[in-house]
Structure 1
Amino acid sequence: MKICVFGAGAIGGYMGVKLADAGADVSLVARGPHLAAMQANGLRLIEESGETTVQVTASDDPSELGPQDYIIVTLKAHSVPPVVEKMQPLIGPNTTIVSGVNGVPWWYFHKLGGDLEATRLASVDPGDAQWNGFGPDNVLGCVVYPAAEVIEPGVIKHIEGNRFSLGEPDGSKSERAMALSKALSAAGLKAPVRPRIRDEIWVKLWGNLSFNPISALTHATLDVLCTDPGTRAVARGMMVEAQEIAETLGVKFPIDVDRRIDGGAAVGAHRTSMWQDLDQGRPMEIDALVASVQELGHLTNTPTPTIDTVLALIQLRARSAGLY
């Protein structure tokens, strides 16, 4: 089984080290100083239990790696459409694209059934780049839960979590899903195959949709954002609107809104990824996390006044910073 992790930053690098250390045939696509450090010194992972350094096959040129059985995509959502053509040398007749990307996935309406079956989402897949370049039949869903960071080129620090939930768009326990689950489990990662992967996508998205833009706008950490009456009310309004959209599409939420917000507060003084991107001058994941939900609101005829307001504010903030 050949596995390529495309976008071997914090999360992708964490997966790469765990897979390589378990003996998997894994390669990594990265760039810049991080890639140079991996090629020169291997990739080092710092965990609470200790440190691991592995020598990995790493490149910025997919044509050097050849066709893969699995491509695990761990880029930020807006970074994927521009590199679909570059990824083609990795894709063979039986390649599975594992979509480990935050937000509403481009394949959301593939095999969902109903009136919106096969609907394309312009907010996350402009020009249908992924739909046409990957093909929805080749995709396997993945919800990423771990937290990690690149603390210096070639060095990743694992913070918490080791679960990567997998799921077919049609809900089946396919041979390809079970085989990847087995490989990830052998590497010490949790990889359950879920029959309702979209439910998990929405529970994670609930927080990303609201906490990320509000924190970037206010510079409030999660513990403050989720307990201040004003910002909690704004987050709750966004989440209620999102829940109505999701339930219209058949999603079942295992927890209620207030418990989800309380869970965010319990994380503590955490700076969300969108706030970190703003501070560090990196493009922000606004479309996949927020604009996509607005687009789903339009498709389901669900009003989203709170989401619309926060989206307008964070888009302007990002444009002002040259990050959108």
Structure 2
Amino acid sequence: MKVCIYGAGAIGGYLGVQLARTDAEVSLVARGAHLEAMQQNGLKLLIGDQQRVEKVRATANPAELGVQDVVIICLKAHSITGAIDAIKPLLGSHTRIVTAVNGIPYWYFYRHGNQFEGTTLESIDPGGRQWRELGPERGIGCIVYPATELESPGVIRHIYGDKFPIGEPSGESTADVERLSKLFEAAGLKAPVLDRIRDEIWLKLWGNVCFNPISALTHATLDVICSEPATRALSKAMMLETQAIAETFGVTFRVDVERRIEGARKVGAHKTSMLQDLERGRPMEIDPLVTVVQEMGRLTGIPTPAIDAVLGLVIQRAKVAGLY
């Protein structure tokens, strides 16, 4: 199986090292100093006190790699549209695209089965380009639960987790997802095939929609946000608005809102990805995590006053920092 990881940063690099230990033909697309380090010294993964180094084919030019069986997109979601032309040479008639990104994927309303079938979302797929040019029929859902860091060029540090649930938009257990699940298993990862992948997408987004922007505005870590009465109450209000929208689309949440907040509190003094991006001067992932929920609220006619207020503030914060 030919597998290309497009965006070999912290998560993509972690996947690259693990998948390189299987019999798959793995390649990575990256850039800059990180790419140069991988090309010269291989890709190093630090797990606890273990160190793994794999010489994986890495390039900035995907056209060198040819058509793939699977393309795993590990970019920040707001970067995907800008990468479409570069991704196209990797795509053949049977290539599957695994969206290992935060937030709602571009294929969300493919084989969705209600009046929203075929809808594209401007906040995550401007002009519907991903839908048209990558193709929703290629999509396989994937939720990223591990935490990893790009410690230095060519060096990935694993912090926790090894689970990447996957699923077809249709809910079917196809040969493609079964084969992909077994590949991840051979790589020492967990990739259970879910028949309701959208439920899991919303479960993760449920926390991202509130904790990420609140942390970027306050610079507080998860334990503080979930313990202070005011920010905990604001998080809950945003989550309840999100839940009402998701349930309109047939989504079922397997935990209640209080349990979800408690789970985040127990993570401890963790900085969200949006706060990390703000501190490091990187574009902030606002639209895929927050604006998209507001947009889906507009689709369903569900008001989102708490989300609207926090979204307005975090967009202004990002603009002031030049990161939006």
TM-score where L is the length of structure 2: 0.99
Name 1:128's counterpart in structure 2.
128
Unaligned runs of 5+ in 1: none
Match of 1:260 in 2: 260
Superposed structure 1 runs of 4+ greater than 4 Å apart: none
Shift of 1:90: 0.4
1:41 and 1:48 map into 2 onto residues whose CA distance is: 21
Partner Cα distance (2:174, 2:22) in 1: 23
The residue type equivalent to 2:235 in the other structure is: A
Give the Cα separation in 2 of the matches to 1:262 and 1:293: 22
Which residue type is aligned with residue 281 of structure 2? G
Partner of 1:141: 141
Query: In structure 2, what is the equivalent of residue 279 of structure 1?
Result: 279
2:246 and 2:292 map into 1 onto residues whose CA distance is 12
What is the CA-CA distance between 1:133 and the residue it aligns to?
Answer: 1.1
Q: List aligned pairs for 1:29-40, cutoff 5 A.
A: 29-40=29-40
Give me the whole-angstrom Cα distance separating, in 2, the residues matched to 1:180 and 1:274. 30
Separation in structure 1 between the aligned mates of residue 267 and residue 48 of structure 2, nearest angstrom: 18
Q: 1:49 Cα deviation (Å)?
A: 5.3
Q: Deviations over 1:189-246 (max 9, x none)?
A: 0010000000000110011100000000001110000010000011000000000001
- Aligned residue number for residue 4 of structure 1: 4
SS in structure 2 at match of 1:84 = helix
| Residue deviations 1:264-313 (CA, integer Å, cap 9, x gap) | 10000001110010111100000000000000000011010000000000
SS of 1:213 mapped into structure 2: helix
- 2:216 matched to which residue of 1? 216
Q: Name the aligned partner's letter for residue 27 of structure 1.
A: S
Partner of 2:25: 25
SS of equivalent residue, structure 1 residue 164 = coil
Corresponding residue SS for 1:17: helix
SS across alignment from 1:92: coil
Q: In structure 2, how many angstroms separate the alpha carbons of the residues matched to 1:13 and 1:23? A: 17
Question: How many angstroms apart in 1 are the aligned matches of 2:133 and 2:100?
Answer: 17
Moved more, 157-166 or 41-50: 41-50
Partner of 2:57: 57
1:40, distance to aligned residue in structure 2 (A): 0.1
Q: Does 1:43 align with 2:43?
A: yes
**Counterparts of 1:47-196 in structure 2 under 5 Å?**
47-48=47-48, 50-196=50-196
In structure 2, how many angstroms separate the alpha carbons of the residues matched to 1:300 and 1:180? 34
Q: Give deviations 1:237-269, integer Å, cap 9, x for gaps.
A: 000000000111100000000100001100000
Q: Which runs of 5+ in 2 are unaligned?
A: none
Question: How far does residue 107 in structure 1 lie from its aligned partner after superposition?
Answer: 1.1
Give the letter aligned to residue 172 of structure 1: E
Equivalent position of 1:248 in the other structure: 248
User: Cα offset for 1:21?
Assistant: 2.0
Give the length in aligned residue pairs.
324
**RMSD over aligned Cα atoms:** 0.7
Q: What secondary structure does 1:199 align onto?
A: helix
Separation (CA, whole Å) in 2 of partners of 1:254 and 1:107:
23
Query: Which amino acid in 2 is paired with 1:250?
Result: G
Three-state SS of the structure 2 residue aligned to 1:226 is helix
Please report the TM-score for the alignment, with normalisation by the length of structure 1: 0.99
Q: Within 1, Cα distance between the matches of 2:172 and 2:270?
A: 36
Shift of 1:105: 1.3
